[in-house]
Amino acid sequence: MTNESSSMQDESADRRGEGRTGEQADSATLSNGNARYIHPELSQLAFFDRVLQQAADPAMPLLERLRALCTFSSNLDEFYEVRVAGLKEQCALSSPVVGPDGMTPQAVYAAVNRRVRELVEQQYRLFNDVLIPAMAQEQICFLRRPSWNAEQKAWIRAFFFAELMPVLTPIRLDPAHPFPRVLNKSLNFAVELEGKDAFGRSSGNAIVQAPRALPRVIALPASIAGCQHGFVFLSSILHAHVGELFSGMTVRGCYQFRVTRNSQLFVDEEEVKNLREALQGELPHRHLGDAVRLEVADNCPRAMTAFLQEQFGLGPGEVFSVNGPVNLVRLMHVPDQVDRPDLKYLPFRPGLPKVLREQPDVFRAMRDGDILLHHPFQSFAPVVDFVRQAAQDPDVVAISQTVYRAGYDSALLSSLIEAARNGKEVTAVVELMARFDEEANIGWAAQLEEAGAHVVYGVVGFKAHAKMLMAVRREDGALRRYVHLGTGNYHHETSRTYTDFGLLTCNESLTRDVAQVFSQLTGRGQTQSLTHIWQSPFTLKSQLLAAIRREAAHARAGRKSRMIAKMNVLLEPELIQALYDASADGVRIDLIVRGACALRPGIAGLSEHITVRSVMGRFLEHSRIFYFHDGGAEKVMLSSGEWMDRSLSRRIEICFPVLDPVLKARVISEGLKPYLSDRREAWMMTSEGDYARQPVPEGESAQRMLLAALT
């Protein structure tokens, strides 16, 4: 046992009661077995609440609080596009399905909309009453129409005629002009008119759609704004000048609205002959799916709201009236337009492991031993260099890589294309069904094929979510494999904002496992026994269950037992039950779960030895780390997948060990220990599913400690 893990076991004993409020819950109070689980969607909303609380935290830099507010909106959008859309479909089908938590889809749907309404009201109060006044004190002003002076009105009017009016297409509603198909999440205005148009037709309602190409906040010159950084909402500009779009008519009212639509793609992978072509045909329809939520300005009259509800087929519970812009997510770019470093996080330069500082040749460095990268504290550049050097190295004969999320601009994939053009055997396993990245992945697949690479789309019915990169190099007359495995995506942008681990290795037995997984993905053989890697959908779940049960057996025998798991999501009922059983046997279990968690901690006789915490900081916690004391062997595994059903049974994921003792100690000391001792940004979960933050003024956050230590 390393010193780090010994100290963690001691610390855990001191923290057994963390996360509980009032009387400790008792398993006897949960006589209904379904009450052992929290519904995933409600737990996900608890995570969104923690994001919102970041925006309310005065200890955070002001402009980062605005980003957090926008992130909350973005999270909620996707939640409705996917999760709530799915719930609504179940309700429409009168689905009798009841989950492990005992709730019907109808009950969950109602609870979700109630909770979201509460959160959205908090969000707009925070925006209007806290953030806007705080930014005004820092000379960052959002100018509202009633406060515009003559000079500001003149500048805004000129902007409207030069930049906005030429790209607007007002649609007056009549039998020849039915209600338009409003795009998903677009900004729109419902306009009430009076008078007659050019053809003598009586007035009524009209719809004006704001072009997506235009920003939703417009920066004014400082000399006109009256403050250092002045902004005006696009909606305010259109409200002020909407009459110019309806010459000779009177505008009785103008009300902004926004609809969120079901954005799931419906492609039958088993029926289509060409998945890429089928997906390309389906993508344009994503913006026109069934409506699931309507947001309107709070000044919108009931009659107009009812009219919009009818057009979108929504009920009153699916309408959200907001006090401000209906599309707060578009304010995400405001901090980038404001040159105030003092109101943002301090910039940092990611570090490099010592071996790569001394030896820039990645292949030589890997031959000297495994290399661990801890992002974003350490740079993603070595991974890019690995592929770039492989593409240019005449001794490299083949490169294989999985592509899940890479973005539109990827130096790594550009090097992969270069490798194919250089005549190397390049195989890219591109997951076309990576939600909201389908278009980018289709583009990369086409470019790779044009360069001569072998492009495959994984396995029908199973998303290829594993993160693997392998180069095969000829050395001394034989072929040697070099591999990168990671917990995060091959995406240079998210590598600066997500915490993840990556392992560079040429360990023969581990790289052999990787080669076998690639063979499965390209359809070249049956599943073979892997030496080190736990893989879904084959062995990952069973290996996790076996590891948990081994810890329980150690506890029952009176031996030391300990388990720590860090992940983004914990929902899988069988694994949760195994954790409950292990806790009942006396295993000390600390869970670090960023997002949704269906397990209830701190219940006497059921989960009294389990704590659950969520760490919310500058970076999005993304790494998956599983630690088992394992009778003193201390097994440390890194994984691409979560503990939820789709990751364990409907995705191709890998969970790989850290074999080098020094690197294993690093994962413990960097990826687990700081988070268990975090007294600034950790939220402790109660048995009721609530989260409580109890920051210690002199305490330090895990992320800040790692920034100081590794950059």
User: Looking at the annotation, which residues are catalytic?
Assistant: 465
CA-to-CA distance for 19 and 592, rounded, in angstroms? 12
75 is in an annotated binding site: yes
The 3-state DSSP class for residue 385 equals helix
422 is in an annotated binding site: no
- Torsion sign (Cα): 45, 47, 52, 53: positive
Amino acid at 271: E
E-strand ranges in 324-413 read 371-375, 396-403
Q: Are 63 and 231 in contact (CB under 8 A)?
A: no
Residues paired with 52 in a beta bridge:
none
Residues making up the chain, counted from first to last: 711
Nearest to 599 by CA among 624, 616, 623, 582: 582
Pairing state of beta strands 562-567 and 624-628? antiparallel
Pairing state of beta strands 610-615 and 682-685? antiparallel
Question: What one-character DSSP code corresponds to residue 627?
Answer: E
The 3-state DSSP class for residue 619 equals coil
CA-to-CA distance for 651 and 402, rounded, in angstroms? 13
Residue found under tokens 């492009």: 455
Assigned token pair, 364:
């030589």
What is the 3-class SS of 452-496, one letter each residue? CCEEECCECCEEECCCEEEEEEEECCEEEEEEEEECCCCCCCHHH
Q: Are 336 and 63 in contact (CB under 8 A)?
A: no
Residue found under tokens 């008792």: 26
Q: How many CB atoms lie within 10 A of CB 284?
A: 8
Amino acid at 318: E
Torsion of the alpha carbons at 66, 74, 293 and 206, rounded to the nearest 10: 70
Instruction: Give Cβ neighbours of residue 115 (< 8 Å, ≥ 6 apart).
Output: 42, 45
Q: What angle do CA 189, 192, 198 make, to 5 degrees?
A: 105
Query: Could you please report the per-residue DSSP string of 593-633?
Result: ESS-B-B--SEETTTTTEEEEEE-SSSEE--EEEEE-GGGT
489 is in an annotated binding site: no
Q: How many CB atoms lie within 10 A of CB 451?
A: 17
Sheet holding 140-142, edge to edge: 140-142, 229-233, 217-220
CA-to-CA distance for 502 and 301, rounded, in angstroms? 54
CA-to-CA distance for 677 and 673, rounded, in angstroms? 6
Query: Could you please report the per-residue DSSP string of 81-115?
Result: IIIIHHHHHHHHTT-----TT---HHHHHHHHHHH
- Torsion sign (Cα): 62, 68, 72, 74: positive
117 is in an annotated binding site: no
Nearest to 185 by CA among 287, 256, 264, 87: 287
Q: How many CB atoms lie within 10 A of CB 28?
A: 10
CA-to-CA distance for 586 and 588, rounded, in angstroms? 6
629 is in an annotated binding site: no
624 is in an annotated binding site: no
Assigned token pair, 111:
């609870």
CA-to-CA distance for 579 and 606, rounded, in angstroms? 9
CA-to-CA distance for 401 and 416, rounded, in angstroms? 9
CA-to-CA distance for 79 and 77, rounded, in angstroms? 5
Instruction: Output the known binding site for ATP.
Output: 75, 498, 594, 622
Instruction: Output the known binding site for Mg(2+).
Output: 405, 435
